[in-house]
Structure 1
Amino acid sequence: MSDPSGGGSAGGPAQVVLWRHGRTAWNADGRWQGHTDVPLDERGSEQVAAAAAVLAARGPVRVVSSDLSRASATAGALALAADLPVALDPRLREVYGGDWQGLRRAEIAAGWPELHAAWLAGDDVPPGGGERRTEAGARVLAAVEEHAAPLGDGEVLVVVGHGGALGAALLQLLGLPRTAAPVLTGLRNARWSTLLRGAPGAAPWRLLEHNAGAWSHA
């Protein structure tokens, strides 16, 4: 299987890196962020600087990001390291959490015990009356496929987004059932998954690595 550090070499399959933003104060506090625009904290900025150095070595040809600042700042670190512009796409935003946004996990579990349990089990429910996993996954999937379409052999696209939405899209990109959501470990802050474009007649995308990062502990 291809070495993920060797992206950008002619002749190999195109790669898409799904990169989650660095840590925020709300991440550290266990709050649901959703579409709330929360910036990176100091630790998050350190995380993305380290990760950007690793990803820049793969020679990406394009960087696309959610327009929320925690993602766009993450993308900006890579853009600086790789001397690339950042294209913003609001379709890459996190799952909209409705009434859950801004609340801690314990508060959500206490206020919506059945809905919260269903969400954790991977059921396709609207968190806080917001957006279903399949809905978020579909919009992120559409964005990824659109931005990946022009990739040539060996070219690398980095897509910067959010844990819930990227995870939902990853299932759809790999053709996995929604029920696989609890099995696939969620992306940690500033970590990424790498997909390889499949050969003609095969599955469109193959998973090369998951939850990869520039350090052993987030």
Structure 2
Amino acid sequence: MNGSKGGRGRRIVLWRHGQTAWNLERRFQGTTDIELTETGIAQARRSARLLAAMKPETIVASDLKRVVATAAELAAITGLTVAHDRNLRETYAGVWQGLTHEEIIERHGEEYAAWKRGEPVRRGGGELETEVADRAAPVVLEHADKLSDNGTLVVVSHGGTIRTTIGRLLGLEAASWESLGGLSNCCWSVLGEGARGWRLLEHNAGTLPEPVLGDDD
């Protein structure tokens, strides 16, 4: 996929799931399987109407409940079948999972600071960000490769996984991935196919600005 083939080229829309109770509590979710709140379902429904206007060809999503429910709203409008893949799950973060932001800083402050500096850190004894990109980015590229020349792929996933995948697809060094800000619930980023690979066209897009509540703020 080395360049646009006529028209605007292929697009990848990376869409974060709707709000959960743990987002509101600023509690690290990781791979914990948390459901959407009623607000989260409403966010997904609203965003799905906007994303449907992009006429996606394919939807691929994480298999965790909060993403399954989010993706289902777009599938209901478009009539597409969602392909679920566990490799699109959020970063596994070991003992950090279930802790609030304040508890993480209190108990694992040095580890948290090192991560924010861009150092390779196994948060809570879990995955490195590069390992998340190693499993997620190939899934995205596999589905993108199957698109028609001007087709759009919607990837429904999690804030941290989306950020690391964007960093990998743009060819950025892992230490600089933190420069990509977090995604608010049910907001999305858009990558477009350019002459030298993938380009970031939109980041954290949505209807109105929302606070970033989640593991990747």
Same fold (TM over 0.5): yes
Following TM superposition, by how much is the alpha carbon of 1:179 offset from its aligned partner in structure 2, in angstroms?
2.1
Output one character per residue of 1:136-182: Cα deviation in whole Å (capped at 9) or x when no partner: 01211111011111111111100000001110111010011112223
**What letter corresponds to residue 68 of structure 1 in structure 2?**
L
**1:172 and 2:172 aligned:** no
CA distance in 2 between counterparts of 1:215 and 1:85 reads 28
**1:207 and 2:200 aligned:** yes
**1:78 and 2:71 aligned:** no
Following TM superposition, by how much is the alpha carbon of 1:85 offset from its aligned partner in structure 2, in angstroms?
0.9
CA distance in 1 between counterparts of 2:188 and 2:210 reads 14
Output one character per residue of 1:106-164: Cα deviation in whole Å (capped at 9) or x when no partner: 11111111101112222210010000111001211111011111111111100000001
Residue aligned with 1:197, SS: strand
Following TM superposition, by how much is the alpha carbon of 1:48 offset from its aligned partner in structure 2, in angstroms?
0.8
Residue aligned with 1:64, SS: strand
Q: Which runs of 5+ in 2 are unaligned?
A: 1-5, 212-217
> In structure 1, what is the equivalent of residue 38 of structure 2?
42
Residue aligned with 1:181, SS: helix
Superposition pairs of residues 185-196 of structure 1, within 5 angstroms:
185-196=181-192
Following TM superposition, by how much is the alpha carbon of 1:188 offset from its aligned partner in structure 2, in angstroms?
1.1
**1:144 and 2:175 aligned:** no
Following TM superposition, by how much is the alpha carbon of 1:198 offset from its aligned partner in structure 2, in angstroms?
2.4
Q: TM-score, normalised by structure 2?
A: 0.92
> In structure 2, what is the equivalent of residue 3 of structure 1?
none
**What letter corresponds to residue 163 of structure 2 in structure 1?**
G
- C-alpha RMSD over aligned residues: 1.2
1:24 maps to which of 20, 23, 28: 20
- Structure 1 segments of 4+ aligned residues over 4 angstroms from their partners: none
Residue aligned with 2:178, SS: coil
Contact (CA 8 Å) 2:90, 2:161: kept in 1 or not? yes
Overall identity of the aligned pairs, in %: 48
CA distance in 2 between counterparts of 1:166 and 1:122 reads 17
Contact (CA 8 Å) 2:190, 2:201: kept in 1 or not? yes
CA distance in 1 between counterparts of 2:194 and 2:134 reads 20
